[in-house]
Amino acid sequence: MNVLFLDFDGVLNSKQHYLATKDFKIKGASSPDAADLLRMKHDVNSNNMWVLGYILKQLPELKIVISSAWGLHYDVEQFKELFRMFKLDDSRILGITPRKMSSYRCNEVRWWLADNPDVTNWITVDDHTIFQIEDPEKLNEYTTDSWIGLTMRDAFKIIQHFNPSYTEPVLFI
């Protein structure tokens, strides 16, 4: 099984997006759950979500594990609903990495992998480094630019991690 450990802040949103939309106020939510979903939808950048959709289309067997501080505030069903809002396949979400008091992201990923030995290939996508340079898992880490979040250039590199024969599309202008 192929797994992408997905962070949100700096990946599916960006500092630019935050600065442009920070004054947004949620109005008209019919319930606290609806307000949460509106907040989630607002806090991600639709362009970054589109890029994630591109990755998922290119890698139809790829599964997602949420590896984000967002996992402290939202549950798996809310993440699945967010995916549906952006017309992404919510069945690709397997869960959220476990959290323990003051845990490090690298340990959360390791704990999840230890509980799921059927994973054959994986990558973490985050805007912060997760593993130390000497860690063997460092080869499975991809870091985005938090200012812009997930881009098509990132998508090509992530796809190539799982499919080394993948070549990025050539654009003729």
Full 3-state SS string of 69-91: HHHHCCCHHHHHHHHHHCCCCHH
Question: Each residue of 110-138: pLDDT tens digit?
Answer: 999 999 999 999 999 999 999 999 999 99
- pLDDT of amino acid 89: 97
From CA 46, how far away is CA 54, in angstroms rounded?
A: 12
CATH of the domain at 109: 3.40.50
* Residue 89 placed within a domain: yes
From CA 158, how far away is CA 140, in angstroms rounded?
A: 10
How many C-beta neighbours within 10 Å does residue 62 have? 22
Contact assessment for residue 95 and residue 65, using Cβ atoms and an 8 Å cutoff: yes
* Residue 78 placed within a domain: yes
> In the chain, how many domains are there?
1
* Residue 46 placed within a domain: yes
- pLDDT of amino acid 21: 75
- pLDDT of amino acid 101: 65
> Which structural domain, as residue segments, surrounds residue 55?
2-162
Angle at 163 between CA 10 and CA 146, to 5 degrees: 10
Where the chain has pLDDT below 70, the residues are: 24-30, 32, 35, 101-102, 173
- pLDDT of amino acid 20: 78
- pLDDT of amino acid 26: 66
